Amino acid sequence: MTRLTILEYPDPRLRTRARPVTQIDAAMQRLIDDMFETMYAAPGVGLAAPQVDFHQRLLVLDVSDEKDTPLVFINPEILSRGELCMSEEGCLSVPGYYEPVQRAANVRVRAQDRSGKTFEMDCEGLLAVCVQHEMDHLEGKLFVDYISELKRSRIRKKLEKDHRQRTGAPARAPSSVR
């Protein structure tokens, strides 16, 4: 398994809308394994494929304390939403920042698992919040889109500066590799 590079805000590739997964082949299985490896190592509780520059509708999650409940959602859709709740969110693509975001406290989701089989799942608590957060990534949306422009621009400037210090390059991909 390979640890993948996680794109960081404000990398414009994070704004790409992901395409539906049409083929669940050996390459996809490898990508899923690599995404789990990357997520657990980070460490994080969820990772969406666009965060590792793969723009298809796939996300992985594990919100268990023991880190022994890996979940794969391919082409996920939300069938119903419950009442709203507010909780603190972070994101592996926005490292070091946590802000309150309003989401549905429970959602019913339909998706395919890693074998391509369709399933439905009632999600609540942290799982519900994470599924919605990761599904936003598939639309090119980030949790910082829910906070004030002022806070968002502070975070963006700070992350751009960190990125420059780390790599000597701006946090933007040349257009040729997009």
Nearer to Ni ion, 24 or 131 (CB): 131
Nearer to Ni ion, 28 or 61 (CB): 61
Residue 94 CB, shortest distance to Ni ion, in Å, is 7
CA distance 43 to 40: 5
Taken in order 116, 16, 171, 150, is the CA torsion positive or negative?
negative
* Cβ partners under 8 Å of residue 89, min gap 6: 98, 99, 100, 101, 129, 133, 143
**Residue of 66, 134, 139, 149 with catalytic role:** 134
Residue nearest to Ni ion (CB): 91
What values do phi and psi take at 43, rounded to 5? -90, 150
Q: Tokens for 73? A: 């959602």
Name the nearest CA neighbour of 50 among 114, 110, 4, 1: 4
Nearer to Ni ion, 91 or 131 (CB): 91
Residue 168 CB, shortest distance to Ni ion, in Å, is 26
Active site residue 120: no
Interaction site with Ni ion (CB under 5 A) = 91
Residue 91 CB, shortest distance to Ni ion, in Å, is 3
> What residues are annotated to the active site?
134
